[in-house]
Structure 1
Amino acid sequence: MSIKDKITIIVATDNHYVILLGALIKSIEVNHKTPEKIDLYIIDDGVSESNKKKVQASSNPEMTTMYWCKSQEVIPPNVKIPVDKSAFPITSYLRLFGPYIIPQDTERFLYLDVDMIVVEEISKLWHTDLEDKLFGAVADLAKVVSSEWGGVPNYKELGFDPQTPYFNAGLLLVDPIKWREGDFSTKILKCIFDNLSWASFPDQYGLNVVLVNQWVILDERWNSYAILDVKDPYIIHYLDIKPIFKSYNCNLAYKEEFYKYLRMTPWKDHQPVPDWVRLSRKAYNKLRKIVSGYLK
């Protein structure tokens, strides 16, 4: 499928964060003025039927066609998910299987974390020249693999130059045909298993190690972190505490921007919730990894 015909977007969510998806969808549609239709593939890790209806109601069916893919069916039966020590939800691993849930002739897809809103015309990003690279991404807050608090902690052992660029995995503009040819999902999971003690940001670690220097560095405004104050952001990424919580402590203007779009959805009456909800969810994420070990 030519990139001129449709914009293919992949997201992954559970029932807890599906409210964020409502705002994300609405923000994309409100700012999308060019004629391409949107195919939205949602990897569903336990979204309730009532929330699926809210997601559907958040969207314009004349612009966006939704495809729901259950997480249990997205992950091949012989594949195990690493049991890392982080509180990141298992949904963070699901981006690795995106190339396999779309039509085989799709020439590219855009993966977006659900804790984002898009405030620029999405087609401008979609038509970015990938310069024959595997994908495009934005540099992470850590910037380089040698970052003391992020990056790739064992970069020396891996033989990486300390100034090797390090990307944030929340936004990936990918050539899925090259991805499948390289069997990169398998290689990334193996990398995480082999280096689990180093992988503080597990899937992002594996992506950066295996796909080192195979990416086009995109304008930072396409992944503007809410902890910063980026002038005229294109996409706002709520990396840390999400704006649905009372304890949100990042850029307040970005919080207002989020609620502007959320008020256009069935979640329009949502009020920020207490922090114990967020903390209990983190505890649940850790417990789920310990108990199950991997998704089946």
Structure 2
Amino acid sequence: MVISTTLQQEPLVVVCGADDNYAMPLAITLYTALIHLENNCTLYLYIIDGGISKKSKERLERVIDLEHVDIHLKWITPSDLESLKNLHTLPWITVASYLRLLIPDLLPEQFEKVIYLDCDLQVEANLKNLWDQPLGENALLAVQDLGTPYVSSPFGIAKYRELGLAPHAPYFNSGVLVINLKRWRAESVSQRVIQYLQEYSQDVRLGDQEGLNVVLANEWGRLDPKWNLISHIYFYDIWDESAYKEEIGAIKQELISKPYIFHFAGGSKPWQIGCVHPQQLVWIRYLQESRWFTPIESLLWHSQWFIRYYFWQIKVLIKKVVIKILIQKS
């Protein structure tokens, strides 16, 4: 594999961003994306550095050092992070989550489109197939959000009526995007999103994802839901009744069994003890394979992790047994 900082003609361009807290999950996003690319694929990879340590960068470069892919890696340190620090943050929405708004200004002008990936993904398909999806004149391609399918949904856009949006206008998840850079630059999309986030700071629920849905309402194209299967699919039975629920219901089993990308959206992450996502142990296996850790570090980390994991499993089992006994006695 070649890790190069020399800019050449490209067939596939991917960008992501993180701070040091999400450097390890980012490694698995990239590792799983790379192992599913075909041999001799040329990839231009841009990582927006929101505070990634030198040690984590070394680990990330080790992870992506795979022989079958020609990687041209570029680390980008934003010069205008201050403009993002003024935006509203929450425990689950940090300044790093706004890094994607900098993409149009940070990537070379010669690139007219790019795939954006969140750093809490597990890729199970060839991203070249995502790249080849027809973009047309859309500002971006995305998957309609499984947990917030409409702007009027509980975690949608609070002021959608004031903003002139129809209640059933579809709402997308911004964890996996194919971005039309040419249009974003021409129409100052990022600047308009930042302006919205500042003006409606007290009403914003999901950071720049909400801002993008406001600014680009009806200006985006839908991807197959397999390209961004968020964890809400496992709570399908308690979704509010809607046309979208019926649409997803017809393909639910196929989505769960053969997704292209798992997105660990929400507070439960696979590296955390207590996560109930069915892909948790698969993610941990990818971590072992990725060489994020040296062999000795891996042995120590995974030994400790599995001790805590099985201890938690035993606690859960005991709790279930106790509850069952109490129910039988009542």
Report the TM range for the smaller structure's normalisation: 0.7 to 0.9
2: CA distance between counterparts of 1:46 and 1:57?
Answer: 18
* Matched residue type, 2:284: Y
The answer as to 2:211 corresponding to 1:186 is no
Q: 2:289 is paired with a residue of what secondary structure?
A: coil
The answer as to 2:139 corresponding to 1:134 is yes
In the alignment of these two chains, the number of paired residues is 267
Q: 1:24 is paired with a residue of what secondary structure?
A: helix
The answer as to 2:169 corresponding to 1:143 is no
How far did residue 263 of structure 1 move? 1.5
Q: Which runs of 5 or more structure 2 residues have no equivalent in the other structure? A: 1-8, 235-255, 310-330
Q: 1:125 is paired with a residue of what secondary structure?
A: helix
The answer as to 2:242 corresponding to 1:242 is no
The answer as to 2:271 corresponding to 1:266 is no
The answer as to 2:90 corresponding to 1:58 is no
How far did residue 99 of structure 1 move? 1.3
How far did residue 79 of structure 1 move? 6.5
CA contact (8 A) 1:84 1:196 kept: no
Query: Which of 1 and 2 has greater Rg?
Result: 2
In the TM superposition, 1:71-220 aligns within 5 A as 71=78, 73=79, 75=80, 81-140=86-145, 141-148=147-154, 150-220=155-225
* CA RMSD between the two structures: 2.1
Q: Which runs of 5 or more structure 1 residues have no equivalent in the other structure? A: 276-296
TM superposition score normalised by structure 1: 0.84
CA contact (8 A) 2:194 2:211 kept: yes
2: CA distance between counterparts of 1:17 and 1:234?
Answer: 22
Q: 1:63 is paired with a residue of what secondary structure?
A: strand
1: CA distance between counterparts of 2:10 and 2:292?
Answer: 31
CA contact (8 A) 2:88 2:197 kept: no
Q: 1:248 is paired with a residue of what secondary structure?
A: coil
How far did residue 218 of structure 1 move? 0.4
1:165-204 Cα offsets, whole Å, 9 max, x none, are 0001111101111101101111000001111121011211
How far did residue 81 of structure 1 move? 3.3
How far did residue 85 of structure 1 move? 4.1
How far did residue 244 of structure 1 move? 1.0
2: CA distance between counterparts of 1:131 and 1:83?
Answer: 33
Q: What is the percentage of aligned positions where both structures have the same residue?
A: 27
CA contact (8 A) 1:34 1:123 kept: no
Given the superposition, is the C-alpha separation of residues 50 and 88 from structure 1 closer, same or farther in structure 2, using an over 3 Å criterion? same
Indicate the structure whose relative CO is greater, using CA pairs within 8 Å and at least 6 residues apart: 1
CA contact (8 A) 2:62 2:292 kept: no
Given the superposition, is the C-alpha separation of residues 79 and 265 from structure 1 closer, same or farther in structure 2, using an over 3 Å criterion? closer
Given the superposition, is the C-alpha separation of residues 76 and 86 from structure 1 closer, same or farther in structure 2, using an over 3 Å criterion? closer
How far did residue 48 of structure 1 move? 1.3
> Going by fraction, where is helix more abundant, 1 or 2?
2
The answer as to 2:67 corresponding to 1:67 is no
* Matched residue type, 1:128: Q
